[in-house]
């Protein structure tokens, strides 16, 4: 079952990514702050709606509510095939170069994202190394053109050079921020940057 409204979908995605990143659930206040909502009651209504649809569950411990995302579990041995579309720079932007063969990955690596909405890119460079995204890794990318501030995105610069960075908006400009203390962020006019996908996971080759 899917969320009924776009805002419910965004809240569910935020809770899911927050739990994956931090290992615990966000508070109602954190969710409200993320979406620029002043009332926690508004967030509570969305949470209740998601719970009614079976997409979230709530438990109460020590006087505080906890949230858990209800995930439809895929078989542990289920495999899906993703197109490997080329290379993505984790450094200065480079041109995407198509690879010949798709890759096979365990379905569970994609979480709630449908396989048909995901593609793979081979990482080149070390600008995202503090996020444990290393040269030679395979980045799993959700095919999406809208990103929230702070998400790791595939950013297309000047319509021909792709790079993997965290994206932040500053009025008429965007900042593509590396996860490497030795490197400076790249600030560009917003019209020069378009989002081509959202980072969803990583596959590290063993050979």
Strand-strand pairing, 161-170 and 103-106: unpaired
DSSP the chain: ---SSHHHHHHHHHHHHHHHHHSSPPPHHHHHHHTT-S-HHHHHHHHHHHHHTTSEEEEEETTEEEEEE---PPPTT-EEEE-EEEEEESSS-B-----SS-EEEEGGGGTTS-GGGEEEEEEESSTTGGGT--TT-EEEEE--S---TT-EEEEEETTTEEEEEEEEEETTEEEEE-S-TTS--EEEEGGGEEEEEEEEEEE----
Q: Of the listed 59, 165, 181, 194, which one is catalytic?
A: 165
Annotated active-site residue 38? The verdict is: no
> Is 127 considered catalytic here?
yes
Task: Give the position of tokens 């378009």.
Answer: 194
Q: State the residue for tokens 């959700």.
A: 142
The catalytic position among 40, 59, 75, 127 is: 127
Tokens representing residue 176 in the block: 């593509």
> What is the β-pairing status of strands 84-89 and 79-82?
unpaired
**Residues identified as active-site:** 127, 165
């Amino acid at each position: 079952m899917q969320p009924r409204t776009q805002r419910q979908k965004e809240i569910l995605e935020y809770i899911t990514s927050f739990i994956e990143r931090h290992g615990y659930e966000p508070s109602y206040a954190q969710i409200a702050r993320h979406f620029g909502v002043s009332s926690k009651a508004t967030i509570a209504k969305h949470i209740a709606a998601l719970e009614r649809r079976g997409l979230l569950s709530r438990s109460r411990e020590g006087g505080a509510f906890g949230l858990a995302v209800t995930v439809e579990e895929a078989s542990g041995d289920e495999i899906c095939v993703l197109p490997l579309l080329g290379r993505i720079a984790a450094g200065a932007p480079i041109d995407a170069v198509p690879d010949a063969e798709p890759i096979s990955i365990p379905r569970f690596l994609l979480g709630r994202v449908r396989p048909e909405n995901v593609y793979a890119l081979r990482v080149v460079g070390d600008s995202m190394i503090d996020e444990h995204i290393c040269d030679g890794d395979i980045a799993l990318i959700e095919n999406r053109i809208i990103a929230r501030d702070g998400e790791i995105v595939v950013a297309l610069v000047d319509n021909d050079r792709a790079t993997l960075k965290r994206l932040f908006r500053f009025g008429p400009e965007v900042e593509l921020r590396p996860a490497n203390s030795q490197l400076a962020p790249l600030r560009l006019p917003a019209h020069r940057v378009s989002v081509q996908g959202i980072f969803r996971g990583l596959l590290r080759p063993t050979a």
